[in-house]
Amino acid sequence: MWVRYPSVPTHLSAQAALGKKIFFDPSLSASGRMSCSSCHSPQHAYGPPNGLAVQQGGADLQQAGTRSVPSLRYLTSTPLFSRHFYTPASEDSEDEGPTGGFTRDGSVASLHQQAAVPLLHANEMANSDEKTVVAKVQHGAYAQDFAQVFGTSIFSRPDQAFEDIGLALEAFQTEDASFHPYTSKFDAVMSGHEKLTLQEIRGYALFNNPRKGNCAKCHTDTPGPSGRPAAFTDYSFAALGVPRNPEILANRDSGYFDLGLCGPFRIDLARETAYCGMFKTPTLRNVATRTVFFHNGRFHRLEDALHFYVERDTHPRKWYPMVAGVLNEFDDLPLRYRDNIDRTDAPLDRPFAGRPALNAAEIHDLSAFLKTLNDGYSATAGGARTSGQ
C-alpha cells in the first residue's frame, strides 16, 4: 500500500515562527498564566496535560470548561463542514450526513478561526474582546515581529490584527512537523520499516471487522487522497449516548445538556433536532496516550472507553443510573433526542443481556493495536516512545 508522507519545510516561515510565540504566550490570557499550550501540551500530543475531564480557565483559572480538550494534531486535512458529505472521487458514494469543520461541533471553518475561540472564551483565556487581545500583542515582546509580518500599520486596524493572530497560529500548526509527525509504529509498518506483532495483528483485524470492533467505519485506516497517510477519522458526526459526567460542573444543573451539533455553542443548527447529541469523530492517532475520552471526558482509561462501546447496550446498568427504580439510559441527552443515538452500527447494535461484540481478551488485543498509533515510535530503540507522544 503506497503512502505519501507530507513534506514539511526545513524551517518555519516568519508567520509560523510568530504563531509559535503566540501559542506559548500566557500573557495573552486574562489571568496572565494560560497559553494555548496550557491545554494543548506538545508533550501530550497537543492534548491536555492532565486527566481532568475539562480544564480550568478564566481570569482566575477557576472557571471550569464543559468539554474535554481535543488534540491539535492531524487537523490540517479537515474538510469544511457539510450537512451532506459525499466521499470525493467515488461514483458510488452515499450521503454520509454531517461531516467536517473544526471543534467538536464542527462550527468553525478554519484553523485560524478555531485558534481565535479560546482567546475570547470565558472559561479559557477569557479576554473581554478582540481589541484586548490585539493590545496585548501590540505591547508585548514580539510586537515588532508582528508588525514586520503583517505591516507597520497593522495595529491601527484591530479587527484585521486579530484575524492575523489566528493566521499566525494556523501557520504554526500547519508548518511545524510536531503537529503532524507521522512517527507511529503504524506509519513505520505502512512504509515497510516495521511489522506488527501477532497481538497487534489480531487487534487490527478486530478494528476492521464490521461485526466486531468496526472501528474503521468511522476511524478510516486507509490512505487518503493522493496517498496521504490514514487520518483514522472520517470527520463524521455520531450520537453515541456517552453517560453524563458528574465531574463537569455545568452538569449539576439537571436542565443543562451539551447537544453538540445543535447547541449550546453552535446555534445555526439548533432547529435540526435530528443532529442533537452528535459530536465529531476524532482521530485515533495518539488515542492510547490520552487519559480523557469522549466530548465530556466521561472515561479516563482507554480500556474503559472500549468496554463502554461494546457493553453499552448489553449491560446498560453498568453505565447509566437508576432513577426511581427505572434505568435512565442515555442520561446525557433529553428524552426527545434519544432516538438520534446510533444503535445500528456494530458494536452498538447488540441486544440487552446479549454477548458483547468483543470479549476482554479481544479488547486487550484491540488496545494493543491502538497503541501502534502513538507518535514517537523508534524501531532502533526497540519500539520505545522517543519523543513527545
What's the CATH number where 40 sits? 1.10.760.10
Mark whether 164 and 80 lie in a shared domain.
Answer: yes
Mark whether 163 and 198 lie in a shared domain.
Answer: no
Mean pLDDT for the stretch of residues 361-381? 92
387 part of a folded domain? no
Mark whether 175 and 212 lie in a shared domain.
Answer: no
By CB atoms closer than 10 A (0-12, 13-18, 19+), residue 194 is middle
Asked if pLDDT for residue 121 goes beyond 60, the answer is: yes
Mark whether 364 and 218 lie in a shared domain.
Answer: yes
Confidence band for 383, pLDDT divided at 50, 70 and 90: low
Mark whether 239 and 266 lie in a shared domain.
Answer: yes
Mark whether 89 and 166 lie in a shared domain.
Answer: yes
Mark whether 213 and 144 lie in a shared domain.
Answer: no
- Give the tens place of pLDDT for each residue, 59-85: 999 999 999 999 999 999 999 999 987
- Bigger pLDDT: 181 vs 116: 181
3 part of a folded domain? no
281 part of a folded domain? yes
Mark whether 141 and 219 lie in a shared domain.
Answer: no
266 part of a folded domain? yes
Among residues 179, 194, 226, the one where a domain terminates is: 179
388 part of a folded domain? no
- Give the tens place of pLDDT for each residue, 3-31: 676 666 779 999 999 999 999 999 999 99
* pLDDT score recorded for residue 94: 74
Report the distance separating Cα 228 and Cα 83, nearest Å.
24
What average pLDDT does the chain have?
94
* pLDDT score recorded for residue 10: 72
Mark whether 143 and 190 lie in a shared domain.
Answer: no
Among residues 179, 194, 225, the one where a domain terminates is: 179
Report the distance separating Cα 289 and Cα 250, nearest Å.
27
Mark whether 236 and 366 lie in a shared domain.
Answer: yes
* pLDDT score recorded for residue 96: 78
DSSP per-residue string spanning 205-246? HHHH-TTTT-GGGTS--S--GGGPPP-S---BEE---PPP-T
Q: Give the chain's domain count.
A: 2
* pLDDT score recorded for residue 386: 42
Asked if pLDDT for residue 89 goes beyond 60, the answer is: no
Report the distance separating Cα 326 and Cα 297, nearest Å.
25
SS3 278: strand
Mark whether 26 and 143 lie in a shared domain.
Answer: yes
Handedness of CA 294, 299, 302, 306 (dihedral sign): negative
Find the domain containing 315 and state its range.
185-381
* pLDDT score recorded for residue 380: 62
Confidence band for 387, pLDDT divided at 50, 70 and 90: very low
2 part of a folded domain? no
6 part of a folded domain? no
SS3 263: coil
Torsion region of 297: left, alpha or beta (phi above 0 gives left; psi -120 to 50 gives alpha): left
- Give the tens place of pLDDT for each residue, 303-359: 999 999 999 999 999 999 999 999 999 999 999 999 999 999 999 999 999 999 999
SS3 335: helix
- Give the tens place of pLDDT for each residue, 145-160: 999 999 999 999 999 9
1 part of a folded domain? no
Amino acid sitting at position 295: H
- Give the tens place of pLDDT for each residue, 257-286: 999 999 999 999 999 999 999 999 999 999
State if pTM tops 0.95: no
Among residues 119, 151, 179, the one where a domain terminates is: 179
Mark whether 168 and 22 lie in a shared domain.
Answer: yes
Which cell numbers in the block locate residue 333?
Answer: 441527552
